[in-house]
Structure 1
Amino acid sequence: MKSRSTTFRLAAVVSAGVLALSACGGGEEENTDEGGSNGGDNSSESPAAEGDGTLTFGSLLPETGSLAFLGPPEFAGVDLAVQEINEAGGVLGQDVVHVRGDSGDADSGIAPAEVDSLLSANSDVIVGAASSGVSMTVIDQIMDAGAVMYSPANTSTDFDEGDYAEPDLYFRTAPSDILQGAVMANLLIEDGRSNVAILARQDAYGETLAEQVQTNLENAGSSVAATVFYGENAQSFDSQVEEIAAAGGDALLLIGFEETATIIPQLITAGAGPQDLPTYFVDGNTADYSADSDPSLPPGVLTGTKGTIPGADTAGEFQERLLAIDPELTSFAYAAESYDAVITSALAAIAAESDAGEAIADALVDVTKEGTKCTTFAECAELLASGEDIDYDGASGPIELGETGSPTAASIGIYEYDAENRNAPVDYIAGEI
């Protein structure tokens, strides 16, 4: 049950030494270019995205790979937005079109070929990827083709730095890990944790988020008992678990992905499981670990464990609309962000009177701020048709895109696990970056 919603203004400073590439609720291997330039191997030449009168969305979201649990709600968000846009008359007099693609993960390396297919299908806007690491392998490929890349889940700080700090064709509806790191540190402090042990994947996602949390904890006068990293493809976690158990922390922050289900039993054996050491997750591993979804964890082992997931409250009527699209949904993570990426793109196309990617990009920021408030596609489209400047506030929150294409205001949900190892939201923290 949601208890309340809290708002604060975040005044965070990223230290000069911070590793700037992280990943949404599941990142992948870092592309080694410093400063965010030349994100990946983009030797594949794709057809240029040009307006043809039909706004086409390509989705590059995880059907397979380590983030596949995020795929269903993200696809549902896209499908719901496309349905509602077309029910309201479409864009530029035509129904919008959705073409699905699988982002996989960095290990599978399928994203560049999937992007080629999406661009060949005349995609003007590609919604994805979920993982910042995967996005970095295709960002230049997509932008060089003149299409908009619009992620519902990238949290890397790198997209606002280096070459990508300038306005371009990249946008996202998820806030950077600057906000999630601050919210997690604040949650730990509010819960009375003053000496936190951190166990994290040794990749861009884990290192960046661990550093953000540690910086915020130490700035508030708390300490970090130990920061222990494990290899992203590790098969054993024995030494890391032993180090955490011996660290003497009063809480554990575990920053991981699907390997969490393997690590938790080892922590329990070492006397550092969630019932011995209060445990906290992040968006990459705040998943459903109930017997129906993950029988590897006995019921009750996660009772009281908390986690953070970027995103606003999607309960109630919006959830019902999503379930009408996909009745099998058990998670709604990043569904609202996916929905809003499609809605704002469609509104930008109307404002620009063009479905071309570059025209949409030029209008995207403006439809999210400093205009007449509106909250549905139909309402906003009607205002645009009457010549109004609009400020769309969506299912994921106020959005308020900045010049770099990232939200300057967003929400982080705080979730807690019950005796069946299922999580539910207990709070939402709204912050400005």
Structure 2
Amino acid sequence: MHPRRPAARRRPVSAAFLAAALVLSVSACSGVTGNARVETVEASGDGILRVGLILDNTGDSSFLNDSQRAAAELAVREINASGGHKGRPVELLPVQADQDTAMQAHSLVSDKADVVIGPTDSSHATEAIDVLSRARTPLISPANTASALSSAESGGYYFRTAAADVAQGPVLAKLAKDGGAATLSVLHEEGSYGKDVSAAVADSARQIGLRVLDNTGFTPGEAGTAARTAAGAAPDAVVVIAREGAQGALAELNNAGLSGARLLLSDGAFARYGSKLGAKALDGAKAVVPGHLPSAGFQARLLEVDPDLRDVSFAAETYDAVTLAALAAARAQDDAGRSIAANLVAVSGGTGADNSSGGAPAPCLSYKACVPGLASGGEVNYDGESGPVAFDSKGDITTATFTVFTYGSDNIPAATGRETAGRGGS
């Protein structure tokens, strides 16, 4: 995710803490070598599995902290109700959300975190990766979507239960074809998000037989030319890939005669537009949003943890990140970060998962359901509240689930379906 927010507040730091941070920084000069996701390691934990959270949301986005905190607490509760790690309770470490991302990471290393969940904002990921990978502590983000993070230099300690932005490309192309389109135009906001996702849409569209008429970039507030170019091409469908410039682009498309069911919106363009756009400008348009709506049962369990919870964004992905970490520790019979990192791919049913029958085992849907399989010496394939995970060799999920929203005549979206994209498309 890439939410906009003011700079995080900093609090005074003790001299002892600064000294510890300096040691980490100096010791990291040689970098992190190897690939922790595939290395064979010996047990080195202290017997207590400690989970840390990095909550980096401030200002208008601060509500996202509550859902992730509640989900992590719920996962730990349910893991402990099923016996914890080797008979001892899993610990959820205190959160220091008033610190910036790097300082939170340093604090969690000092608190002996074995695995850390977070951050939300993709632009903060490298700060956490730099600190935690040097400490041999795996980081699992429930919300990072920037495509470039697939190649982040983490020594194999970075994973994410959220799909990369480009995963929506095949889904958007499929929705266009399912709607009867034979030709497609793409409007994308300039920048890495627009460039990467528009390329994924165009490639996926061609693979399924659609003709891509144009793929035009624009800057926020300056979408008129791009909209008129699309209108001149007379496409059957138009895909809009934008964030800050989405509303302006949609208004310009409406002015150019492209509106309603011909439009498909990327996740960054998804919003409740209402009267901000012309009447029926989005009537019948579709948008995709990563993940699927949490089940009623999962939401009820979250409310038992936090009765005041009003939003469940990234809750399922956070819950699954904690559960996967605990299953990785159970598979290794060790709580050390290196052991967790080396076993996450296997317990997710991902690339290289060892299974004599060929392919991943049948999915199990909770820690309680999965852990007996490990206890008997077998393999497990955890599919959780966010759907299948199946990490690949880069720590990315290989199956991405998207909720499809359809806009009404009031330009307000409602969930109407679900699509899944994998390595081969939708």
* Category of TM-score, reference length = shorter chain: 0.7 to 0.9
Write out per-residue CA displacement over residues 43-96 of structure 1, whole angstroms, 9 at most, x where no aligned residue: 976489x84543333333452378667655444433332232233343340232
Task: Within 5 Å, give how 1:25-40 maps onto structure 2.
Answer: none
Question: Is the CA contact 1:56–1:99 (under 8 Å) kept in the aligned structure 2?
Answer: no
Q: Distance in 1 between matches of 2:206 and 2:198?
A: 12
Q: Which residue of 2 aligns with 1:364?
A: 344
Distance 1:213 1:90, change over 3 A: same
- Percent identity, please: 30
Q: How much does 1:258 deviate?
A: 4.9
State the TM-score, normalized to the length of structure 1: 0.73
Q: How much does 1:140 deviate?
A: 3.0
Question: Is the CA contact 1:26–1:257 (under 8 Å) kept in the aligned structure 2?
Answer: no
* Aligned amino acid, residue 91 of structure 2: V
90-99 or 243-252, larger mean C-alpha shift: 243-252
Look at both structures and tell me which one has the larger radius of gyration over its CA atoms: 2
Secondary structure in 2 aligned to 1:342? helix
Question: Is the CA contact 1:25–1:285 (under 8 Å) kept in the aligned structure 2?
Answer: no
Residue from 91, 94, 116 that aligns with 2:89: 94
Residue from 373, 378, 387 that aligns with 1:397: 387
Q: How much does 1:163 deviate?
A: 5.5
Q: How much does 1:190 deviate?
A: 1.2
Q: Which residue of 2 aligns with 1:199?
A: 187
Secondary structure in 1 aligned to 2:401? strand
Question: Is the CA contact 1:77–1:338 (under 8 Å) kept in the aligned structure 2?
Answer: yes
Q: Which residue of 2 aligns with 1:38?
A: none
Secondary structure in 1 aligned to 2:204? helix
Write out per-residue CA displacement over residues 407-431 of structure 1, whole angstroms, 9 at most, x where no aligned residue: 2334333222344614314133353
Distance 1:111 1:377, change over 3 A: same
Q: CA RMSD in A?
A: 3.7
Residue from 61, 64, 80 that aligns with 2:74: 80
User: Alignment length, in residue pairs?
Assistant: 380
Q: Which residue of 2 aligns with 1:417?
A: 407
Q: Which residue of 2 aligns with 1:129?
A: 119
Q: Distance in 2 between matches of 1:236 and 1:74?
A: 36
Question: Is the CA contact 2:170–2:421 (under 8 Å) kept in the aligned structure 1?
Answer: no
Question: Is the CA contact 2:293–2:403 (under 8 Å) kept in the aligned structure 1?
Answer: yes
**Which sections of structure 2, spanning at least 5 residues, go unmatched?**
6-20, 28-43, 350-359
Secondary structure in 2 aligned to 1:318? helix
Q: Which residue of 2 aligns with 1:249?
A: 235
Return the structure number with greater strand share: 1
Distance 1:318 1:428, change over 3 A: farther
Q: Distance in 1 between matches of 2:79 and 2:393?
A: 26
* Aligned amino acid, residue 94 of structure 1: P
Q: Distance in 2 between matches of 1:410 and 1:94?
A: 32
Q: Which residue of 2 aligns with 1:285?
A: 269
Question: Is the CA contact 1:125–1:357 (under 8 Å) kept in the aligned structure 2?
Answer: yes
Question: Is the CA contact 1:103–1:134 (under 8 Å) kept in the aligned structure 2?
Answer: no
Q: Which residue of 2 aligns with 1:13?
A: none
Task: Within 5 Å, give how 1:111-122 maps onto structure 2.
Answer: 111-122=101-112
Bigger RCO (CA 8 Å, 6+ sep):
1
* Aligned amino acid, residue 168 of structure 2: Q
366-375 or 182-191, larger mean C-alpha shift: 366-375
| Pair 1:59 & 2:28 matched | no
Task: Within 5 Å, give how 1:279-428 maps onto structure 2.
Answer: 279-287=263-271, 289=272, 296=276, 301-312=281-292, 314-326=294-306, 332-369=312-349, 370-371=360-361, 373-418=363-408, 419=410, 421-428=412-419
State the TM-score, normalized to the length of structure 2: 0.74
Question: Is the CA contact 2:51–2:90 (under 8 Å) kept in the aligned structure 1?
Answer: no
Q: How much does 1:25 deviate?
A: 6.9
Write out per-residue CA displacement over residues 181-210 of structure 1, whole angstroms, 9 at most, x where no aligned residue: 112111111112333332223222221111
Q: Distance in 2 between matches of 1:136 and 1:201?
A: 24
* Aligned amino acid, residue 95 of structure 1: V
Question: Is the CA contact 2:76–2:91 (under 8 Å) kept in the aligned structure 1?
Answer: yes
Question: Is the CA contact 1:374–1:392 (under 8 Å) kept in the aligned structure 2?
Answer: yes
* Aligned amino acid, residue 197 of structure 1: S
Q: How much does 1:247 deviate?
A: 5.0
Question: Is the CA contact 1:371–1:391 (under 8 Å) kept in the aligned structure 2?
Answer: yes
Q: How much does 1:102 deviate?
A: 5.4
131-140 or 341-350, larger mean C-alpha shift: 131-140
Q: Distance in 1 between matches of 2:127 and 2:228?
A: 35
Question: Is the CA contact 2:97–2:104 (under 8 Å) kept in the aligned structure 1?
Answer: yes
Distance 1:245 1:69, change over 3 A: farther
**Which sections of structure 1, spanning at least 5 residues, go unmatched?**
1-23, 29-42, 105-109
Q: Distance in 2 between matches of 1:259 and 1:72?
A: 28
Q: Distance in 2 between matches of 1:251 and 1:179?
A: 19
Q: How much does 1:213 deviate?
A: 0.3
